[in-house]
Structure 1
Amino acid sequence: MVRTTAQAAVTALGATKTYGSGETAVRALDSISLEVPPASWTAVMGPSGSGKSSLLHCLAGLERVDRGRVLLAGRDITSCSDRELTRLRRGEIGFAFQNFNLVTSLTAAQNVALPLRLAGLRPTRQDIHAALDEVGLADRARHRPGQLSGGQQQRVALARAIVARPTVLFADEPTGALDTASARSVFALLRAMVERGQTVVMVTHDPVAAANADSALFLRDGRLVDRLDRAAAAAVAARLADLER
């Protein structure tokens, strides 16, 4: 069930993440605190190595922070067991990535159903059809990935991510490998999710993608250094260029 209360959809409180130890230790996140409102679309940007993907993974519970807390819809996921996190990811969290991760031997419908089946659930044909229809691919349900364009494959991946109606969709460069027209269709799908009350957190390097979001957060050296709300692509690009100097 999608939550649309005033409670933040995602919260980080002093989130810190370090990889390695001793002289080789790398601090990917350095005491980041932020709130993502429900029914909103947030872009995360920054130079290479700024901690964007680490932040996304920690907010989604794919990785654990070393210090600080991460809350999903008010629930502290840093104290969850692995089993609780798995259960949470089945219903509350969706994922979409640049490399679509579709199984080439399965049809679009089978790819959409796969995560639910692996979780021991039995999605109905109606559920699968509704998810594919939502991304405009109901007529491609029996097509395999090799019979689909890159944009269509990404839309199948989005259908797979939304079939369980997650509270929050975490997306890592979801349009990075797409042409302009395909990227626009993905932006429209993400906006439709937000309008239904779901929340999107998206890592991107593309100012145009970030300009479609409600706000853009900027990282540098593992720290949150700026935020722009409803900014034009030119303003996003200029701020990103400043951080890359």
Structure 2
Amino acid sequence: MNQAAVRLRSVTRSYGRKSGAVTALDGVSLDIPRGTFTAVMGPSGSGKSTLLQCTAGLDRPTGGQVFLGDTELTGLSERRLTLLRRSRIGFVFQAFNLLPSLTAEQNVALPLRLAGRRPKRGEVLDVLERVGLRERAGHRPGELSGGQQQRVALARALVTRPDVLFGDEPTGALDSTTGREVLSMLRTMADGGQTVIMVTHDPVAASCADRVLFLADGRVQGELHSPAAEQIAARMTRMAAVPC
């Protein structure tokens, strides 16, 4: 059994053709160990979002290989890729993406229904309890604060017990106090064995991770392990500096 939750081997992703082609990822190879919290940072246009989308099976690389555990995503049909995403991958986005007409409980149960499973109420309530919202199970998104909505989104991502939880700026729409609460939950999940990969622009958010990867021009330009926010901010400042 491979100990990496995710492996990328010489992954490239280009958009457009010939002289107009833009390379978003340029030969990226990396391993994400199981049960770790990884943050991905970089300047605008560095390839962060493309890396997350290719790694999570939302986009197909132009070249190279992506593995979820021992399963190669790049060789799967669209149908098999969809089924895999529903059962083995969890997503948390900046915009929450909750259905406004459904209660918190119904939103959390939705991935199970999409996967063809009949949700057990106890199972759904248990995962809501993990994020501190069991008592809000009957409330719709409009009756919840932004932080509570993001915690519902987190519960929805966890209900299928995914191999990897992906976050795309999961605290970007939250105030600093609520953002810290969500980050603390992600940290606790990683400490409990969940693999978390998060794209962020915030050095404070990234400092909650075990490892921070820095991207520029579609390539990994370095990493830091268990860094302080000040170290991350200094690295980002150097990456953004333009020589005179």
TM bucket, shorter chain: over 0.9
* Alpha-carbon distance in 2 for matches of 1:165, 1:195: 15
Alignment of 1:132-147 (within 5 A): 132-147=128-143
Corresponding residue of 1:88: 84
Deviations 1:80-115 (A, max 9, x none): 111221221122110010000011111111111112
Q: Does 1:200 align with 2:189?
A: no
Q: Name 2:107's counterpart in structure 1.
A: 111
Q: Is the 8 A contact 2:2 2:70 kept in 1?
A: no
Amino acid aligned to 2:7: T
| Aligned residues with identical type, % of pairs | 59
For residue 16 of structure 2, what is the aligned residue in structure 1? Answer: 20
**Cα deviation, residue 6, structure 1:** 5.6
Aligned counterparts of 2:240 and 2:99: Cα–Cα separation in 1: 37
Aligned partner of 1:128 in structure 2 is: 124
2:219 alignment partner AA:
R
Q: Where in structure 2 are the equivalents of 1:95-244 lying within 5 Å?
A: 95-244=91-240
Gaps of 5+ in 2: none
- What pairs up with 1:24-39 in 2 under 5 angstroms? 24-39=20-35
Q: Amino acid of the residue matched to residue 38 of structure 1?
A: R
The one-letter code matched in structure 2 to 1:110 is: Q
Structure 1 position 187, deviation (Å) = 1.2
CA contact (8 A) 2:11 2:26 kept: yes
When structure 1 is superposed on structure 2, of 220-229 and 85-94 the one drifting more is: 85-94
Q: Report the counterpart of residue 51 of structure 1 in structure 2.
A: 47
User: Is the 8 Å Cα contact of residues 7 and 74 (structure 1) preserved in structure 2?
Assistant: no
Q: Secondary structure at the match of 2:90?
A: strand
Question: 2: distance between equivalents of 1:20 and 1:105?
Answer: 39
Task: Letter of the 1:52 partner, please give it.
Answer: K
Aligned residues: 241
Distance 1:243 1:11 in 2: 25
> What residue number does 1:76 align with?
72
1:83 alignment partner, SS class: helix
User: Helix, strand or coil for the counterpart of 2:4?
Assistant: coil
What is the RMSD computed on CA atoms of the aligned residues?
Answer: 1.0
1:194 deviates by 1.2
Instruction: Flag as ranges the 4+ runs of structure 1 deviating above 2 A.
Output: none
Deviations 1:195-216 (A, max 9, x none): 2211000000000010000000
TM normalised by structure 1 equals 0.96
Q: Deviations over 1:134-177 (max 9, x none)?
A: 00000100111111111000000000000011010011000011
Report the residue type matching 1:24 in the other structure. Answer: G
Q: Tell me if structure 2 keeps the 8 A contact 1:6–1:38.
A: no
Paired letter, 1:15: V
CA distance in 2, matches of 1:116, 1:8: 26
Q: Which runs of 5+ in 1 are unaligned?
A: none
Distance in 2, matches of 1:142 and 1:168, equals 28
